[in-house]
Amino acid sequence: MIHLILHEVIELKKIMIIEDSKLHQEKIKDIISDLDYEVSGVFDQGKKAIDYILKENYHPDLIITDIILEGKMDGYQTAKKIRAETNIPFIFLTSKKEEVEELEASVYLNKPINKIELKNNIKFVLYKHKIFKKMKKNNEEKEMILDTIDTQIWYLKDPKTYGKVNQAHADFIGLDKSDIEDKKLTNFLDEEEAKICNLGNTKVFREKKKIKSEEWLENSNGEKRLISITKNPKLNKDGEVEYVVCSGEDITEQRKKEKIIKEKNDFLSTILEVQNSLFLLLDSDGKIVGFNKACEKLTGYTEEEVKDKKVWDLFIKQNEKKEVEKVFNQLKNKDYPNKHENHWLTKTGEEKIISWSNNVILDDENNIKYIVATGIDITERKMREKQIEYLSFHDELTGLYNRRFFEEEMKRLDTKRQLPISIIMADLNGLKIINDSYGHEKGDELLKRTASILKDSIRDEDILARQGGDEFAVLLPKTQKEKAKKVLSRIKNETKKTSAENIPVSIALGVATKENIEQDIEKIFKKADDNMYQNKLSESKSSKSNIVKGLLNTLSAKSSETKAHTQRLKNLSKKFGKKLRLSNSELNKLSLLATLHDIGKTSISEEILNKTDDLTKEEWEIMKEHSETGYKIALASNEFVLVAEKILSHHENWDGSGYPRGLAGEEIPYLSRIISIIDAYDVMTHERPYSKAMSTKEALAEIDRFAGSQFDPELAEEFIKLEK
């Protein structure tokens, strides 16, 4: 890279750009603007530039062009055409050196563009061209100008012989110009230095191409200085080297500074890379300069992909861009906001919430040079906070508002402007039976179904909340009682649609309305609740009965013989009960027991109920639970509570070996002992998935064999007499 420091004040120059890349156009324009030069024109095709220069007779001071351009004419052909008619200098931006060197280009620079290198070369080319024009007028003026610059300039007649030199170069060597010009290098350089210079000189004369090098040379004070040297051959018409123009810049101090900066940057980079925190380094325009590994991991971008891009153009959501730019401008104005949060978009479009802490690095003039942002990914924390906030006002199961929110809204809406305010109370009937028979998972499904029915029956502005358990409440602002009753009708119509299902939805409802501001809203709430409770008492029996019927239908669907088995048990129960001279009341209970004794099996899977092989130990434990489940179902309904204890005990054995409580003898309810014999007999005499049917004689023999152990011996004897 060439570093040229020109201390002379240069007049405003006009520079033309020929470049088909918008990105590079803007970058070059920024560099020219930084140098206080004027951009005289920007073209994306060579032909357009040629027409502008040759036809309009407009001559810029410098043309910066890319070799590869759109259209039929590339940068090389464009330059050749312009140089045939003018003496405008060029800076070529390309990677194809061999094409450029055939033309007398002023400077060749590799892409990607290096900002410092391009700046220095613009200065150098413009200055060199200025000297070249003045040379045409007066050689003395040229020499005087050359002698006023700090850049060393000389030319070589051949690899070993000097031509003209400027004062800066003579001062560096420590001799008068007359002692150097037209002399051999060995006359004033030591053997080692002369050898090094001769190698480079020979190369440029041989290859006929410009070369750049950095060489340590000793100045007139005996100090070793690092000189950046450019050697550019001047070819004659025959393509032979006529002479070589050389320029040199003392970059010793610059290199020392660069080394210090590099060491500091390397140290900083090491620190940043080992941190889990996000570190972002921005320049004063908001462009990304540094991007640590934690940022790469979070965003999915590499540092190379994001470098020189503005942070809000790459990562920030559209609706947050202005806020981020505002924070950035505050930083630039030295009003430093210590912390802020914003959403970042990753490469895959995922959103992350980042908490940033900002610091600034100032330059020598106390202006912001860099902004250092340290970030922490708080996405999960924010999600937890949001979830906690949601749960504080919502019921987790149904997603409806909870009691706390409902009470707050009831207070908030208790104003004259919202009158009349109606409140609907709703209670799901039979939830306990469902939980006890099907399990709480099924009960939860029914609660969600109920919530859905209620939500679909009200307006968006109404407040629906689950009060807890099986209770719901609806707050209807600006709603008269008659309109509220229509809402009740809609809810009832929706529940009727579920009547054909195994588990129909049954909801007890009550409503009350606050019509004037003097009324207490809490009392209106209680009145609605009382009305609902009265309706629940009247509807409860039928709703629970319907649920039990649904349970029996479900059991029949699971096991094809259940319905027939139940009917046979009812017939045998009636027959055996009469033989035992049971009262009508006891006969009815026995018939009900025959119907409901296995209702607890609704909670058992079909795979277990219909299994043909022996049950495993775990499966048998599940099967044994049906007595307790049936007991809970019967207890939940006043209609069936009389046989609940009998259902619980119908698998107890006379000798105490049964389940679930291990009762023995007369501890077992009388009707349970009866149904135990009838149930066993029917099972033995009819085919099951796990056993073939026995004859009546064989079945009665089994009952006789287990009399006194499984069965009540007296009842067993009576049953055998009945069936013989």
- Asked whether the beta carbons of 28 and 40 are under 8 A apart, the reply is no
Angstrom distance (rounded) from CA 636 to CA 429: 11
Residues 6+ apart with CB under 8 A from 326: none
What confidence score (pLDDT) does residue 585 get?
Answer: 86
pLDDT of residue 4: 41
For the chain, what percent of residues have pLDDT higher than 70? Answer: 86
More confident residue, 273 or 322: 322
DSSP structure class, residue 86: -
Which of these, 688, 671, 544, 541, lies nearest to 597 by C-alpha position?
671
What's the pLDDT at 101? 54
**Confidence bin at 421 (pLDDT 50/70/90):** very high
**DSSP string computed for 294-351:** HHHHHHS--HHHHTTSBHHHHTB-GGGHHHHHHHHHHHHTT----EEEEEEE-TTS-E
pLDDT in tens, 629-671: 888 878 877 677 888 899 999 999 999 999 999 999 999 999 9
What CA dihedral angle connects 335, 340, 343 and 345, to 10 degrees? 60
Contact 423, 525 (CB under 8 A): yes
Q: What is the pTM of this model?
A: 0.43
The pLDDT tens digits for 432-486 are: 777 776 778 888 988 999 999 999 999 989 999 999 888 999 999 999 999 999 9
Looking at residue 1, its pLDDT comes to: 39
Contact status, residue 352 vs residue 298, Cβ threshold 8 Å:
yes
Helix (H, G, I), strand (E, B) or coil at 471: strand
Q: Could you tell me how far CA 418 lies from the centroid of its own chain?
A: 42
Q: What token pair was written down for 481? A: 């009682």
What is d(CA 682, CA 572) in angstroms, rounded to the nearest whole number? 9
Alpha-carbon distance of 180 to 185, in angstroms, equals 8
> What residues pair up with 508 in beta bridges, in sequence order?
427
CA distances from 534 to 131, 530, 537, 641 (A): 109, 6, 5, 21
- pLDDT at position 425 over 90: yes
Q: How confident is the model over 210-237, as a mean pLDDT?
A: 87
Q: What is the pLDDT of residue 339?
A: 67
Q: What is the DSSP letter of 615?
A: P
**pLDDT at position 481:** 92
- Structure confidence by residue, pLDDT tens digits, 565-589: 888 888 999 999 999 999 988 988 8
pLDDT in the model for residue 145: 64
Average pLDDT of the segment spanning 611-626: 86
- For residues 53, 59, 61 and 62, what is the CA-based torsion angle, rounded to 10 degrees? 10
At residue 332, what are phi and psi to the nearest 5 degrees?
-65, -30
**pLDDT exceeds cutoff 70 at 218:** yes
Q: Is the pLDDT of residue 385 over 90?
A: no
The Cα-based distances of 632 to 234, 247, 592, 639, 685 in angstroms read 108, 103, 16, 13, 30
Confidence of residue 7 (pLDDT cuts 50, 70, 90): very low
pLDDT digits (tens, 9 = 90+) for 360-378: 777 777 777 787 778 888 7
Q: Which residue has the tokens 């499904």?
A: 445
Residue with tokens 């994001």: 306
Q: Which helix (H) or strand (E) holds 562?
A: helix 562-579
Question: In the structure, what pLDDT confidence band is assigned to residue 545 with cuts at 50, 70 and 90?
Answer: low
Strand partners, 20: none
Q: Say if residue 268's pLDDT is above 60.
A: no
Q: Which domains, from first to last, does the chain contain?
A: 1-137 (3.40.50.2300), 150-271 (3.30.450.20), 275-382 (3.30.450.20), 397-539 (3.30.70.270), 559-723 (1.10.3210.10)
- Angle between helix 431-438 and helix 626-635 axes, rounded to 10 deg: 180
pLDDT of residue 544: 60
